[in-house]
Structure 1
Amino acid sequence: MKITVTVEDPTNDFQERLLALLAEHTGQVHTDTTWTKERASRYYLALPARAQRIVKEAADRKGYVSADDLRDGEDTSLRGHSAALKRILDRGVREGWWPDGMEPPIQAQGPGFGKVVGYRMPDHLTATFRMAINNWSRDW
């Protein structure tokens, strides 16, 4: 049997009781951590503009965008963008946009110590994010 439950704007008491019930039966509960077009769109729209560009470029470039391709004009720093990408993933869990345990849709690539040589999106997510971004852009 498969049961799907969606609760919009639950009271705190109801949410706590439901989560406690689910925790009691954790062995039988499967959490859907799949990136859907709707989840990808919400993630993308919640990002600041420069972080949106990273996600869009990676999706459009088959999953990878180099730091050099993201640098333009006078603004050559990519400092702080990885934090925004992670912050929105965490915010989505807090806001109930998606469950905890979602795969990060994009990761900074580099030798470490803050140096970023590019960003990678897993291959299986590029089509979903490209569709979400393109559909959003077309609607506006």
Structure 2
Amino acid sequence: MDIQLTIKNVTPEAYDDLKEFLSKHAERVTLDTEWTPERAERYYRQLPDRARKIVREAAIRDGYVSADDLRDTEDSSLRGHSAALKQVLERGERKGWWPPEMPAPIEPQGKGFGKVDGYRMPDDLVGVFFTAIKKVSDPMAAANIATGQE
């Protein structure tokens, strides 16, 4: 038995009921929490410019971008840049673009409490997001990547 579900516009109560039902069959149920190029593109398109820069630079730099590389000037603060990363992830959950268990595609690195040293994207997501970013930035180049004609 293979159970595949696509959930859109689900209420929190209905989702809780569904999780309870599925927990009875947990050994046969897997949630699709994989970042696909389509999901990555939708996520990236929803981000404001400052947050897009974080994702773009991390993808370009093989998964890690330092805070210094993100600053426009030596003294500029990165405060507020990453809030949108979480907000778009949550919005996607609410709108049914991906399941609530979807992992964040990029995480702040550092001591916490406001100041970050940089941002890390998991290695397996770098290519997925690079392709999505390329498609958003240059649709013709993305078509060439898809057909292997870089």
Residue identity matched to 1:43: Y
The answer as to whether partners of 1:60 and 1:130 remain within 8 angstroms in 2 is yes
Q: Match of 2:112, SS? A: coil
Distance 2:126 2:75 in 1: 26
Q: Is 1:36 aligned with 2:33?
A: no
TM-score (ref. length: structure 2): 0.78
> Hey, what does 1:53 align to over in structure 2?
53
How far the C-alpha of 1:109 sits from its partner, in A, is 1.1
Distance 2:8 2:17 in 1: 18
Distance 2:18 2:103 in 1: 25
CA gap 1:6/1:101 in 2 versus in 1, 3 angstroms:
closer
In the alignment, which of 13, 17, 22 is matched to residue 20 of structure 1? 17
Distance 1:136 1:58 in 2: 16
How far the C-alpha of 1:107 sits from its partner, in A, is 0.8
Q: Unaligned 5+ residue runs, structure 2?
A: 141-150
- State the Cα RMSD in Å: 2.4
The answer as to whether partners of 2:9 and 2:94 remain within 8 angstroms in 1 is no
Identity %, equivalent residues: 56
Give the number of aligned pairs. Answer: 136
The answer as to whether partners of 2:3 and 2:29 remain within 8 angstroms in 1 is no
TM-score (ref. length: structure 1): 0.84
> Hey, what does 1:90 align to over in structure 2?
90
CA deviation vs aligned residue, 1:82-130 (integer Å, no higher than 9, x gap) = 2111111111111101001111111111122211111111111101100
The answer as to whether partners of 1:22 and 1:29 remain within 8 angstroms in 2 is no
Residue identity matched to 2:21: E
